[in-house]
Chains A and B, each alone.
Chain A
Amino acid sequence: MSPRKKKMLTLALAVAGLALATALILTAFEKNLMYFYSPSEIAMGDAPENRPFRIGGMVVKGSVIREKDTLGVWFNLTDYAHERMVYYKGILPDLFREGQGIVAKGGLNETGLFVATEVLAKHDENYMPPEVADALKKSQKYQNLK
């Protein structure tokens, strides 16, 4: 092979490899982006129906109900404008408490219940997830406008 051909081959291989990598990366990226919606945004119909997303808010005091004999649990999340009921089956994080902010991953079922696959709460006593703090601020503004 002449040096020139060799160079071209190397270049072609490199470009093809990079193109393939970029395509793979961007497809995977698109598929796995997960948006965040507050209970108010869900109530307004912004949340996607057939794609998982994240919800966040404060756990409404007194709303936590346990399923009998299993790890299932229902609770309501609020941004103080709207509430959304969440169902989760599994072990809740240590910092899950009534009156505290949490974020859950999952999706809406046909009845409008948010079925969570994962519940996240941060390990810090004063902590409020930034998404939740933001959602609370927004809903407050929204109420002031009314």
Chain B
Amino acid sequence: MIIELGHFSIVLALICSVMLSIIPIIGAQTNNAHLMAIAKSAARAQFLLVFLGFLALTWAFVTNDFSLTYVASNSNSSLPLGFRISAVWGAHEGSLLLWVLILSIWMAAFTCSNNDMPLKFKARVLAILGIISFGFLIFMLFTSNPFLRSLPSPANGLDLNPLLQDLGLIIHPPLLYAGYVGFSVPFALAVAALLGDGVNPEWARWARPWVLVAWSFLTIGISLGSWWAYYELGWGGWWFWDPVENASFMPWLLGTALVHSLAASEKRNIFKSWTILLAIATFGLSLIGTFLVRSGILTSVHAFATDPTRGVFILAFLTIVIGGALAVFAANKPQSDSLADNSLAARETFLLTNSIVLSVATATVLLGTLYPLLIDALGLGKMSVGAPYFNSVFIPLMVPLLMLIGFGQTAHWRRDSFRRLFSIAKYPAACATTLAVGAWAMLEGTGAIQAALALLMAFWVIVTTLKNLYLQLSNATKISPVRRAFLGQSVAHIGFAVTVIGVTLVSIYSVEKHVRMSPGESIEFSSYQATFNSIKKITGPNYSGVEATFNVTQDEKIIAVLFPQKRNYNAGSQTMTEAGISAGITKDIYIALGEKIDTEDWGVRLNIKPFVRWIWFGAFLMAAGGMIAASDLRFQRLNKNRHPSTQT
């Protein structure tokens, strides 16, 4: 009964989304305030109905209702309760429901934003979000309905994929989706601006917090996925340039460009067309990401239970939404910028270069991700693009980006000179160089030069950012305190540098060794000694397996005791590797069991991962920076008297 109610409320939500897509638009065209006011209630009603549907499906998982095909294929009565709840979004149908739920949450949040947007503008934004939710609700109900029953119901379920039975997977999809789907709001804001009053600094001020929050969620979502892959897949890798990872990384890159371009649009009323295009393209890439993951055309750990007809639907939807938005753009293009009185060393130039570099980076990832699919679709053969491609392209792109951060944040808007920029960069540059040379002296091996150069760039960003922050803080007064937008920007830039440090050191100085060992044996690796002490049988709630004990010593002292496991899940008889990890600030020691060979021996994977935590900590700082900036009071301000466009 509860299931049917949930199903029914999703159908009602679909009706709401139809009303939301049509009525407010008519209201906006005819200036009818009553029709426009429907947007708010329809959006809230849709959120409530989708939420009820989501609760109903969760209820089915909690009560082990295996008459639902979706529950039967993704849960099992022996699955712990926490994982039964996260199994709701463990496969395609449920994750689509989560997608729609998060979209509805964003819409409901938008109805609560209490700044000075005109009613007409708000109505259009909500209507566009309504069209997007209509597409996804239709898609879910007709191709991927999680509420379908198959009677007679099986006695027990097939169980959740063991890879997903993990804390990381409880939180990774909702946060990632919050980011992905969050970019629908800037998209809707962009299209609504084109349909209405156009793009102006005030519009940019409305858009900024939404872009920042979506970007922050996406940052956290991606880094959680990376962290999960690191400890759960048992390979010790943190990024594989897998197409599905790329699918989330592309909107992130373009979203980062959008954050910066939008800042220029707000402060200087420039880059308007470019900002709008970025907002459209970022959401377009989110849709492409959904298409890639859900169509089954990818070889990936993420592409569970997929179906080509779904891919066709998403592709058609993508074409309509993005094509429509671009058509609106072509018809109502914002007037072009006047930068004639700008000097080349002004901040605008740095922000423009940021956009160019990040767009090129996005294009390279897009090429490496889509080209193999295109060749395959044309029947010209099967191929893949190796990780070295992405690495060899990305590193030269990141160097100018890091360099620019240091200069860009000190440059003035409109007018500045390179002479001034270089002269104030002297001391930070000297400081960063000293630090990098110091680091170089501690580094060894063939990669030391590259590592030191990359560290130089990261130190440069950190030192210049801290210097600016210090200057701002010491100049701050009670009346004009340091603005949160500036604070957030500084935190995010430092976070980026921290991630770069982590990526550099873990890429160059990781040690990996595959060995064959039996209990009692010891092996030297790097400056450590690993001893395979013992192995014992273990039993979990829905699996059985073995757990090994390893002592890791350095200079005769025990520095870590690790317990890697090998599990066999009962329901699907799948094997899983649980790595033993000793986490640290400067390094992780990572041991995973391979398979049992003959009677006594095991394949063992030993890894040292220096500074790997910095990658995720840096991402956390970036996301925190985005959130701090989004909370800047200026974005919530009710603006009675419109401010001049050049105000900073």
Q: Give the contacting residue for B382; candidates A21, A24, A29, A35; CB below 8 A.
A: A35
Segment 46-70 of A: residues with Cβ below 8 Å from B: 54, 66, 69-70
Residues on B with beta carbons closer than 8 Å to the beta carbon of A66: 597-598
> Taking the complex as formed, is B514 at the interface, i.e. its CB lies under 8 A from any CB of chain A?
yes
Residues on A with beta carbons closer than 8 Å to the beta carbon of B388: 28, 31-32
The answer to whether A17 and B576 touch (CB under 8 A), given A24-B393, A32-B385, A32-B388, is: no
A54 to B385, CA, bound (A): 11
Interface size for chain A: under 10, 10 to 19, 20 to 34, or 35 or more residues?
A: 35 or more
Closest 9 CB pairs of A and B: A91-B594, A32-B389, A36-B382, A32-B386, A28-B392, A94-B575, A91-B603, A90-B514, A35-B383
| CB pair A71 B382 closer than 8 Å | no
Segment 98-146 of A: residues with Cβ below 8 Å from B: 103, 122-125, 129-131, 134
A111 to B607, CA, bound (A): 33
A75 to B381, CA, bound (A): 25
Looking at B234, B299, B344, B592, the one whose CB has the most chain A CB atoms below 10 A away is: B299
- Closest-by-CB residue of B relative to A29 is B389
The answer to whether A124 and B161 touch (CB under 8 A), given A29-B367, A31-B389, A94-B575, is: yes
Looking at B301, B304, B389, the one whose CB has the most chain A CB atoms below 10 A away is: B389
| Count, chain B residues at interface, CB 8 A | 47
Segment 1-51 of A: residues with Cβ below 8 Å from B: 3, 6, 9-10, 14, 17-18, 21, 24-25, 28-29, 31-36
A18 to B364, CA, bound (A): 12
A45 to B53, CA, bound (A): 56
The answer to whether A3 and B340 touch (CB under 8 A), given A92-B603, A94-B577, is: yes
Residues on A with beta carbons closer than 8 Å to the beta carbon of B343: 6
Residues on A with beta carbons closer than 8 Å to the beta carbon of B594: 71, 91-92
A91 to B343, CA, bound (A): 58
| CB pair A70 B385 closer than 8 Å | no
| CB pair B344 A28 closer than 8 Å | no
| CB pair B574 A125 closer than 8 Å | yes
> Taking the complex as formed, is A85 at the interface, i.e. its CB lies under 8 A from any CB of chain B?
no
Q: Give the contacting residue for A123; candidates B163, B349, B516, B595; CB below 8 A.
A: B163
16 CB-based A-B contacts, threshold 8 Å? A18-B360, A24-B393, A24-B396, A28-B393, A29-B389, A34-B384, A35-B382, A71-B515, A71-B594, A91-B514, A91-B592, A92-B603, A94-B574, A122-B299, A124-B304, A125-B574
Residues on B with beta carbons closer than 8 Å to the beta carbon of A89: 514
A47 to B422, CA, bound (A): 55
Residues on B with beta carbons closer than 8 Å to the beta carbon of A29: 367-368, 371, 385, 389, 393
> Taking the complex as formed, is B511 at the interface, i.e. its CB lies under 8 A from any CB of chain A?
no
Q: Give the contacting residue for B576; candidates A18, A94, A129; CB below 8 A.
A: A94
Segment 459-500 of B: residues with Cβ below 8 Å from A: none
A131 to B298, CA, bound (A): 10
> Taking the complex as formed, is B584 at the interface, i.e. its CB lies under 8 A from any CB of chain A?
no
> Taking the complex as formed, is B397 at the interface, i.e. its CB lies under 8 A from any CB of chain A?
yes
A91 to B575, CA, bound (A): 14
| CB pair B381 A35 closer than 8 Å | yes
Residues on B with beta carbons closer than 8 Å to the beta carbon of A92: 594-595, 603
Looking at B344, B572, B577, the one whose CB has the most chain A CB atoms below 10 A away is: B344
**Is the contact region of chain A dominated by helix, strand, or loop, or is it mixed?**
mixed
Looking at A9, A18, A71, A92, the one whose CB has the most chain B CB atoms below 10 A away is: A71
> Taking the complex as formed, is B605 at the interface, i.e. its CB lies under 8 A from any CB of chain A?
yes
- Closest-by-CB residue of B relative to A52 is B386
Contact with A along B584-598 (1 / 0, CB 8 A): 000000001011011
- Closest-by-CB residue of A relative to B340 is A3
Give B607 Cβ to nearest chain A Cβ, in Å: 11
Segment 557-595 of B: residues with Cβ below 8 Å from A: 572-577, 592, 594-595
Give B79 Cβ to nearest chain A Cβ, in Å: 16
A16 to B368, CA, bound (A): 23
- Closest-by-CB residue of A relative to B372 is A33
Residues on A with beta carbons closer than 8 Å to the beta carbon of B604: 91
A14 to B605, CA, bound (A): 47
| CB pair A123 B389 closer than 8 Å | no
| CB pair B382 A131 closer than 8 Å | yes
The answer to whether A71 and B603 touch (CB under 8 A), given A29-B367, A91-B594, A122-B299, is: yes
> Taking the complex as formed, is B356 at the interface, i.e. its CB lies under 8 A from any CB of chain A?
yes
Residues on B with beta carbons closer than 8 Å to the beta carbon of A123: 161, 163, 233, 301, 574
Residues on A with beta carbons closer than 8 Å to the beta carbon of B297: 130
| CB pair A34 B381 closer than 8 Å | no
The answer to whether A33 and B385 touch (CB under 8 A), given A6-B344, A10-B344, A92-B595, is: yes
A66 to B603, CA, bound (A): 12
